[in-house]
Each structure stands twice: as C-alpha cells, then as structure tokens.
A and B are shown apart, each in its own frame.
Chain A
Amino acid sequence: MLSWSVEETNQQINLLPIADGKGDPLLPGGRELIGFVGATLSGNGIADARTAVVDTLGKAAAADAAAVTGNFEMMNRIADGVGMPVGPGTRKRMAGTIAELGLDRFPHA
C-alpha cells in the first residue's frame, strides 16, 4: 500500500527506515513519524517524538499517527493470530520490497 500510494501520488520513498528505524524515508515528516511509532511501541521518549511530529506536521497529523499505530497493532495481531497466508501473487508483486527490507526473516513470511 505504501509503494502504491507513493507511486500514484508521484512521490519518492526510501523504504530502509521502515525496517531499521534509521534514516530519512523522504516523505514530509517521515523521519519524525518513524520516530514516533518507535517511541510509542518501545515506551521510550514518547513525548519528544510526539512533539517532533506536531512541530513538523501539526497536531491532527500526530493524532492520526497515534491512531494508525494503534490500528496496525490490531491488524498485526489479527494477521499473526489467524495465520494469514501470504499468497504467491502478493509475494511476486512485493518481491523487490521483500528483498530490500529483508521481510523473509519475519516468522510468518
């Protein structure tokens, strides 16, 4: 979905920060959003990370980031809990992303 939305809106993306949390994903406020997610899920430095998103993108964006993080905490548990299969079509379509981010290391890949 990320690559698709970036392509369809003529933006650029660096996917590596998604995997390791470091660097600039090249989207506006991307570095701050990556930091906010990491802080929220680790419990460390949440206030500073949230302030960085507010300063860069505004309060509504920070609230959305908190909500989307919460939503994917739910979706990840559903996908892993039910053993959602990764179909061959998805695997083929995402081959480049899987290789770039090393997603095959994930237990349910």
Chain B
Amino acid sequence: MFDFSTAPLPVDDDRAEAFRHVWHRLAAPGTWWTGEERVAIAAVARAAYESGESAERGALPAAATEAAALLAHQPAAITQELIVSWESRGLSASQYVELIGIVSQLTTVDTFHRALELELEPLPEAAAGEPSRQLPEAPATITKAWVPMVGPPTIPTSLSAVPAEMAALEMLHGPMYLTYEEMSDPAVTHGLTRAQTELVASRTSAINECFF
C-alpha cells in the first residue's frame, strides 16, 4: 500500500506513512460512521471530484451522498442553508463534521497522486465495528461558523466537534505542509522556501475560490 518506488519524484517516508494512516482510519469505524459508511463516503467523493456527479451509494443516506459529492467537487458552493437542509434530512452536525474530515483527507492523498500522475490508491476494505460516538471534552457550539466547534472558529478548532478528525487533520498537516511550530517561521525551507510554499497554497485556494 502506497508504494512510491516508481514515482517520478522522491516521496518522503513521513508522507507515505501519513497516507497509510489515513487509509487505516478510513477503513475503521469512526466516531459517527461505520467503516463501511466511511469508505462509501470516500467512494462518492472520489467519483464526484472529477465527474461532479453524486453517485448513489447504498450504505449512505442521500443527504450524506450529496454533501460528500459537493464537498469533493465544488466546496465553495456549500452554504449554511444546505447544511441545515442536510441536517433536516437526517445528517447530524457531528456526522457532517466527520464527513468533512473523510473527504478532505481523501482529497489530499488523491491530489498528491494526481500531481505525480500515479494510479490512485484503491480504497480500503471496510473493517467491522461500531462507531465510537466519542464526544469532545468540552461542549461544541455553533458561534460564527456553520458547524459546532470547541472554542472560537479557527482552523485548529474546525473539526473539534469530532476529536478524532481534528487529530487526523493535525497528523497530515505537518508532512504535507508545515508543522504548527514551523508556521511561525517566515524563512522555513524544505524543498520549497516559505514564500514558494505560500505561493502554491495561495494558487490552490484561488482555483478553489476559497478565501481562506
């Protein structure tokens, strides 16, 4: 799994390991979704990323299928009204936050593969088991964002209503971009200088029409 021996560019071990961790988590029962449902969400997202179509997946409620497809294909089109609509059709706020984690992490892994023109890693076989239903240590509330968070809305609290997804985001962030410690250094350099890194980040966000 995630063998980069024929890749056209060197792939650091910490990136490959992060991808394996994402796949392991994807297959396992999550906080509010089973492993089967998590893999189904990823399948919808992967199909929609390129086609834009919201293919039905038997294991998922229709609202979850719609949310996964839109988040993968056209995230800037998501509105608070849509989220409320999905919730009224049975997609709870916590389930939606976990869905964001699944789709966004999948997109990171797949985009890296597309950039290197590698075959996308097959989605994993789902593992059996029940969701943990783990709640955050402090209550998550809706303030100025559209989903509940523990504390003020910032990227480090964005998925805090589902602690396991927050932890997964932090685990990917360092190998793919910068650690939180490195983010305070304007001159930090790996393969790219900090300014070059931010140029790539900014162009990605511009294409996605994301203000962030």
Contacts and interface: CB of A to CB of B under 8 A. Distances in A.
B169 interface: yes
B151 interface: no
A60 B172 CA distance: 18
A64 B197 contact: yes
Nearest to B176: A71
Contact of B199 (A34, A75, A83, A101): A34
Interface in B117-148: 117, 144-147
A84 to B, nearest CB: 6
Given A8-B186, A60-B191, A84-B158, A68 B9 contact: no
A5 B100 contact: no
B111 interface: yes
B132 to A, nearest CB: 21
A23 B15 CA distance: 31
A58 B210 contact: no
B59 interface: no
Contact of A38 (B71, B197, B202, B203): B203
B117 A33 contact: no
Contacts of B88: none
A54 B192 CA distance: 12
B191 A75 contact: no
Nearest to A49: B115
Nearest to B12: A63
A40 B176 CA distance: 16
A74 B190 CA distance: 20
Interface in B182-212: 183, 186-187, 190-212
B158 A109 contact: no
A72 B172 CA distance: 11
Interface string B90-117: 0000001100100111011111101111
Interface string A67-79: 1111111111111
A12 to B, nearest CB: 10
Given A66-B9, A79-B155, A106 B114 contact: no
Contacts of B206: 18-19, 101
Contact of A9 (B78, B96, B146, B186): B186
Given A82-B146, A82-B149, A85-B153, A73 B76 contact: no
A8 B188 CA distance: 11
Interface string A30-68: 100110111011010011001000100111111111111
A37 B207 contact: yes
Contact of B75 (A5, A34, A81): A81
B196 A27 contact: yes
Contacts of A8: 186-187
Among B80, B83, B147, B197, chain A packs the most CB atoms within 10 A around the CB of B197
5 contacts: A59-B9, A63-B10, A70-B107, A81-B100, A84-B153
The 5 A-B pairs of least Cβ separation, nearest first, read A83-B146, A60-B191, A8-B186, A66-B115, A64-B191
